[in-house]
């Protein structure tokens, strides 16, 4: 069925006196490939992982040829061995457990505070006047700069670390949930009113679902910042956790252990992103937006 060319020109047999309209050339026909044929047969997840894997291969090659000395950065093979050792002696799993717990608690607190404040200032004009200006002011303070203050306030235990993560997490959540609430189509609010929804019904059925895309964006930012805050928090006065493992490794010039810890951070970040993606797929399947080709 593939017709690449139009039939050849059929020119008039006899050249009669020139007609006002020259004989029309048939247009050239081009086959339109069906979408199914154009779509790559490689599964999506393979395509998504191939990039990082290529990077890894390049690194191994550079280390193997000596272009990248082990003192600067250990080879992936060495790092894998160290990782296995760290897992075997239990130091990495216990550090991960401590770090994960810090992120979880910090994230939860930040979620409660950030979303709570966003609801207050998003839903009520009075709330906006009271809350928004203060939050906008506070959010410009670099939260990492608060570490010394938090140590004075909360000591050197878990509290300042969780507080730093909470601080880092709540602002992007606040901003995006607030913007999400204020971005809900006024026509839909009106439709809800005309259907007799109560104030709470409007919030539940119209405002909150409408703010969900914004909230998801906020959650993504927050997760990224949560790991960042964790690194900062754990490198000051920590006696457990991945950051502590890194500080120790630095003292012994163990670049391989440092890289293992970095990879763990990256892996946890990837996992968090996957979790949000799954959440988005479940919660935002109604969205009539462009999803890429």
Partner 1 sequence: MATDLHRTVTPSGPEPAGDPTTDTPVDTAAKADQERPAAVRVQGLSRVFDGRRVLDDLDLEIAPGEFVALLGRSGCGKSTLLRILAGLDREISGTALVPRRKAVAFQAPRLMPWKRVWRNVLLGLDGSSADRARAERALEEVGLGERAGAWPKTLSGGEAQRASLARALVREPDLLLLDEPFGALDALTRIKAQHLVGEVWQRHGCAVLLVTHDVEEAVLLADRVLVMDGGVIAHEVDVALERPRSLTDPRFAALRAGLLERLGVDTSAAA
Smallest gap, in angstroms, from Cβ of residue 114 to partner 1?
22
Among 62, 144, 179, 197, binds partner 1 (CB under 8 A): 197
Between 15 and 285, CB nearer to partner 1:
285
- Put residue 36 in one of left, alpha, beta given phi > 0 → left and psi -120 to 50 → alpha: alpha
Cβ atoms of 99 and 243 within 8 Å: the answer is: yes
Q: Which stretch binds partner 1 (CB under 8 A): 125-133, 172-180, 192-200, 227-235?
A: 192-200
Q: Which of 194, 239, 253, 290 binds partner 1 (CB under 8 A)?
A: 194
- Smaller CB distance to partner 1: residue 190 or 273? 190
In the complex with partner 1, which residue's Cβ is closer, 116 or 213? Answer: 213
* Nearest residue (CB) to partner 1, 181 versus 245: 181
- Given the rule CB under 8 A, which of 44-52, 71-79, 248-256, 279-287 is the region that contacts partner 1? 279-287
Distance, in Å, from the CA atom of 171 to the CA atom of 177, rounded to the nearest integer, reads 10
Instruction: Rule CB under 8 A: choose which of 199, 250, 277, 287 binds partner 1.
Output: 287
Least Å from the CB of residue 197 to partner 1: 5
Residue 195 is a binding residue for partner 1 (CB under 8 A): yes
The correct pick among 62, 188, 228, 240 for binding partner 1 (CB under 8 A) is 188
Q: Which is nearer to partner 1, 164 or 208 (CB)?
A: 208
Q: Distances from the Cα of 219 to the Cαs of 133, 145, 270, 280, in angstroms?
A: 22, 23, 14, 10
Please give the Cα distance from 247 to 256 (Å, whole number): 13
Scanning 79-87, 101-109, 124-132, 186-194 for contacts with partner 1 by CB under 8 A, the matching segment is 186-194
The reply to whether 96 sits near partner 1 by the rule CB under 8 A is no
Return the biggest CA–CA distance within the chain.
103
Among 191, 266, 270, 275, binds partner 1 (CB under 8 A): 191
Phi, psi torsion values for 32, nearest 5 degrees = -95, 115
CB atoms closer than 10 angstroms to residue 278: 10
**Any residues with CB less than 8 A from the CB of 234 and at least 6 apart, and which?**
99, 102, 161, 241, 242, 243, 244, 246, 247
Shortest spacing between CB 287 and partner 1, in angstroms: 7
Single out the residue of 193, 221, 235, 263 in contact with partner 1 (rule: CB under 8 A). 193
**Cβ proximity of 169 and 222 under 8 Å:** yes
Binding residue (CB under 8 A) for partner 1 from 205, 254, 263, 276: 205
| Contact set for partner 1, span 209-228 (CB under 8 A) | 209-210, 212
- If one asks whether residue 190 binds partner 1 (CB under 8 A), the answer comes out as yes
Residue 220 to residue 228: CA distance in whole angstroms: 13
Q: 190: helix, coil or strand?
A: helix
Query: What is the rounded distance in angstroms from the CA atom of residue 241 to the CA atom of residue 243?
Result: 5
44-64 vs 76-88: helix axis angle to the nearest 10? 110
196 binds partner 1 (CB under 8 A): yes
Q: At what angle do helices 147-154 and 158-182 cross, to 10 degrees?
A: 120
Q: Is 227 within 8 Å of 241 (Cβ atoms)? A: no
Q: Which residues bind partner 1 (CB under 8 A)?
A: 187-188, 190-197, 201, 205-206, 209-210, 212, 285-288
């Amino acid at each position: 069925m593939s017709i690449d060319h139009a039939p050849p020109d059929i020119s008039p047999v006899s050249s009669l006196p020139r007609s006002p309209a020259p004989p029309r050339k048939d247009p050239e026909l081009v086959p339109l490939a069906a979408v199914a044929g154009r779509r790559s047969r490689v599964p999506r997840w393979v395509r998504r992982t191939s990039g990082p894997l290529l990077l890894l291969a390049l690194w191994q090659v550079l280390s193997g040829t000596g272009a990248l000395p082990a003192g600067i950065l250990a080879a992936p093979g060495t790092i894998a061995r160290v990782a296995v050792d760290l897992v075997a002696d239990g130091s990495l799993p216990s550090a991960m457990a401590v770090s994960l717990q810090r992120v979880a608690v910090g994230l939860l607190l930040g979620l409660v505070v950030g979303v709570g404040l966003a609801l207050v200032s998003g839903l009520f004009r009075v709330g906006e006047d009271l809350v928004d200006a203060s939050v906008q002011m506070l959010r410009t303070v670099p939260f990492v700069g608060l570490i010394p203050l938090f140590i004075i306030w909360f000591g050197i235990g878990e509290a300042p670390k969780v507080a730093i993560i909470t601080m880092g997490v709540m602002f992007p959540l606040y901003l995006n949930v607030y913007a999400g609430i204020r971005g809900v189509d006024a026509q839909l609010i009106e439709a809800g009113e005309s259907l007799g929804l109560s104030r709470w019904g409007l919030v539940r059925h119209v405002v909150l679902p409408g703010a969900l895309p914004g909230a998801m964006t906020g959650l993504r930012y927050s997760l990224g910042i949560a790991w960042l805050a964790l690194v900062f928090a754990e490198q000051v006065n920590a006696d457990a956790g991945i950051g502590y493992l890194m500080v120790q490794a630095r003292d012994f010039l163990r670049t391989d252990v440092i890289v293992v810890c970095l990879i763990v951070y990256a892996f946890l970040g990837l996992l968090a992103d996957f979790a949000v993606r799954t959440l988005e797929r479940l919660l935002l399947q109604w969205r009539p937006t462009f999803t890429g080709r």
